Structure 1
Amino acid sequence: MSNPTRIGIIGAGAIAMHGHIPGLKRHSDAQVVAVCDTNSERANALATSHGIPTVYTNWREIIADPNIDAVTVALPNALHAEVSIAALNAGKHVLCEKPLAMTVAQGEEMVATAHRQGRVLAINMSNRPRGEVQYMRAKVAEGRIGTISYASGRMIRRAGIPGFGSWFTRKELSGGGALLDIGVHMLDMVLYILGNPTVSAVRGEVQAVHGPQRRGLGGWGSDRVMDGTFDVDDLASLHLRLADGGLVTIEVTWAFYGQNEERIQVVGNQGGFDFFPTLYGTDKPLRFYSDDNGSPIETIPTLPSLAEPAHNAIYRRFVDTIRGTGSVVASGDDGLAILRLLEATYRSAAEKREITL
């Protein structure tokens, strides 16, 4: 490999192990050269298992390494802005985990820094490249289902609270609970399918139902700490009014007395889609609903074959963008747009009113 893009991994947790490193190593022009984690044992284990030559335990050291061109940031939300801004100022390109930051103000500074430094800032919105999502987005743009009247997204987990006392459940480290953890994915996916329409108003509700009772443990990043802090939401609902008159509803929960469910519905005045995504695929095929001279029609669209696993596009296009041959799946600006809606949801819930944007 000549003149590879050299990448450092900041944060040696599960997403780095199962997502960032394998995805980046698939790129013929990328080389993962360093990993950083405050837990030296975990960092060394990850480096050994993936043949990564350099290990750091301080993120300031990895971003100061002149032999690194870009970094991925897979840290608690509270560190996203600080680490990303420092890396951008050090001349590194950045792929940051979602959400972009804890606050809109932090996100704005991240985006401004990337523009000022002329560096790539990407956000890991990993559902965008899914075949079904790309298909629906294209058909909505073509007008296949007409004018959008309603869209909804639900991500319901029977038992998915990621530990009691993990950083996910401590507001000072996460900024929020289910809404910021999984709501960000569902909100981005639905709005992306719709072509990222202008949102005129947000009404939101958030609750902590099961977490305070130490029920619903499980899911990504979970641990078995049963007596730690839980001061975030485990259930959230938001309602968006679009500038063109359409309505969007998003419901997410970490724990729920009912079946696991992930579902997206998009309805226009000429047709509609029904999609049941899961973390790594789908339980049911995408369905398209329309009518023919008043007779209902239900079809299963034939989707184009993907050249690679959907989530791998995040890493491939990040490297391609750095090298001037592509564009990122989701930019810092995209992440900031979603963060504005998430922050408005929390504000709406606190003030018990609709927030006009």
Structure 2
Amino acid sequence: MKTIRFGIIGCGLMGREFASAAARWMHLQDMRARPEIVAVCDTNPGLMDWYSDHLPSVRLKTTDYRALLADDQIDALYCAVPHVLHGDIYPEIIASGKHLLGEKPFGMDRAQNTAIMAALARRAQGQLIRCSSEMPFYPGAQKVLDFARAGRAGEILEVECDFLHSSDINPDKAINWKRMVGVNGDYGCMGDLGMHVCHVPLRLGWAPDTIHASLVKRVTSRPDATGARVPCETWDNATIHGRVGDGPGAFPLTLRTWRIAPGESNTWRIRILGMHGSAEFSTKSPRQWQFMDYTVGSPQCWQVEDLGYQSLFPTITGGIFEFGFTDAILQMWAAFVDEAAGGDARGFPCATPEEAAKHHAILTAALTAGTEDRVVQVEYHT
């Protein structure tokens, strides 16, 4: 099996998830390649020890990400740094010729994303660039995708996609960089969660033409490391209402990115309603999806199917067991590694740079629409 040597830039939560996925690679079956983490980088040296303690393959630890770019013993990079750094680091990674899986939102704002896309125009032949988005790799999400792709919905009535957190309802939760406009960006919750809700609609070709948005900011200050209250600057919740298409076939698309969703932990949901059929999946019920096929005059009955463990990339897990978040991470990485090794990701690649650019167009329009309380035309760059 081919080995793809990875470096990690940004050793926080998601870097550790990737390391765990790499360590679990034996869980997958019939893979054409495997990742090996050989280098890690973070501005906080203390975060890197966890990797070297758990992964004997790590031979380089550094606070300078450019050392990874210059290392010809590294084939690919995973970059998970605060949004403000994307605009500088991602183009440099692309210029290095290494494969890149970059964390969302692929630029703090549209200007940064435009710079990243300009760098992509000069990428090396065969260089793979993708954006992180793991939720569509749940089996239920794949069922909904297949349902829509097969045309079983018929004419679309409405589509909704949500990503819902609840921890920010606590006003005493300590502030972090995602609550700071200078580091997270003006998008607020949309920048952090927007790719999650845009990925499936965009993959199905449902890009909204116009946008209206309701932006909510409820917690205006939070404690810092000393306990002092400091400004909490970013949007807590955003509900984006889009219109896809024109004429009689147009339909509404609703995208919710909420950090204050009472009672929710980490819920992702997709719901498609159509004249001939409807389908829904939520991570609240990870082993089930719901669907309805309708013919004229017949009863309208939702069906629930128990899926068990049915993954895009086969694993050693028995089909009677349950799929979870770490499995979705593993499947996303399997798709990236398969593509990097010349495969087709079994027909479902990770989010593309073009999809990331379109999601920036949507979020930029939503920010304008929400702050100015008006409907805004989405401007997609060609």
Picking from 344, 351, 356, the partner of 2:372 is 351
Aligned to 2:210: 201
Does structure 1 conserve the Cα–Cα contact (< 8 Å) formed by 2:153 and 2:278? yes
Picking from 96, 100, 104, the partner of 2:102 is 96
Alpha-carbon deviation of 1:59?
A: 1.2
Does structure 2 conserve the Cα–Cα contact (< 8 Å) formed by 1:120 and 1:322? yes
Give the structure-1-normalised TM-score.
0.87
Does structure 2 conserve the Cα–Cα contact (< 8 Å) formed by 1:129 and 1:329? no
User: Which aligned pairs between 1:77-92 and structure 2 lie closer than 5 A?
Assistant: 77-92=83-98
Percent identity reads: 22
Does structure 2 conserve the Cα–Cα contact (< 8 Å) formed by 1:111 and 1:121? no
CA distance, structure 1, for counterparts of residue 72 and residue 169 of structure 2: 39
CA distance, structure 2, for counterparts of residue 259 and residue 127 of structure 1: 16
Structure 1 residue ranges without an equivalent (≥5): 216-221
Computed over aligned residues only, the root mean square deviation of the Cα atoms, in angstroms, reads: 2.6
CA distance, structure 1, for counterparts of residue 188 and residue 169 of structure 2: 9
* Deviation sequence 1:144-178 (CA, Å, 0-9, x none): 12111101123333324795431111111111322
CA distance, structure 1, for counterparts of residue 7 and residue 39 of structure 2: 5
Does structure 2 conserve the Cα–Cα contact (< 8 Å) formed by 1:164 and 1:227? no
Tell which deviates more after alignment, 136-145 or 156-165.
156-165
Tell which deviates more after alignment, 76-85 or 57-66.
57-66
CA distance, structure 2, for counterparts of residue 161 and residue 168 of structure 1: 15
Aligned to 1:276: 282
The one-letter code of the counterpart of 2:341 is R
2:276 equivalent to 1:288 = no
Alpha-carbon deviation of 1:213?
A: 4.9
Pair 1:156–1:69, CA change in 2 (3 A): closer
CA distance, structure 1, for counterparts of residue 356 and residue 70 of structure 2: 25
Aligned to 1:179: 190
Alpha-carbon deviation of 1:317?
A: 2.3
Aligned to 2:177: 167
Pair 1:348–1:114, CA change in 2 (3 A): same
The one-letter code of the counterpart of 2:111 is A
Query: Match of 1:145, SS?
Result: coil
Give the structure-2-normalised TM-score.
0.82
Structure 2 residue ranges without an equivalent (≥5): 26-30, 316-326
Query: Match of 1:199, SS?
Result: coil
Pair 1:124–1:223, CA change in 2 (3 A): farther
The one-letter code of the counterpart of 2:274 is G
Tell which deviates more after alignment, 104-113 or 66-75.
104-113
CA distance, structure 1, for counterparts of residue 343 and residue 199 of structure 2: 25
Does structure 1 conserve the Cα–Cα contact (< 8 Å) formed by 2:221 and 2:230? no
Picking from 299, 302, 308, the partner of 1:298 is 302
The one-letter code of the counterpart of 1:152 is E
Does structure 1 conserve the Cα–Cα contact (< 8 Å) formed by 2:75 and 2:99? yes
Pair 1:314–1:351, CA change in 2 (3 A): same
The one-letter code of the counterpart of 1:316 is A
Aligned length: 343
Pair 1:143–1:173, CA change in 2 (3 A): same
User: Which aligned pairs between 1:1-357 and structure 2 lie closer than 5 A?
Assistant: 4-18=3-17, 20-25=18-23, 26=25, 28-51=33-56, 52-118=58-124, 119-160=127-168, 164-175=174-185, 176-192=187-203, 195-209=204-218, 211-214=219-222, 227-243=229-245, 244-257=249-262, 262-278=268-284, 282=285, 285-291=288-294, 293-301=297-305, 303=307, 305-306=310-311, 307-308=314-315, 309-327=327-345, 328-357=349-378
* Deviation sequence 1:270-302 (CA, Å, 0-9, x none): 121232224xxx357211134463322121246
Pair 1:12–1:228, CA change in 2 (3 A): farther
Alpha-carbon deviation of 1:94?
A: 0.9
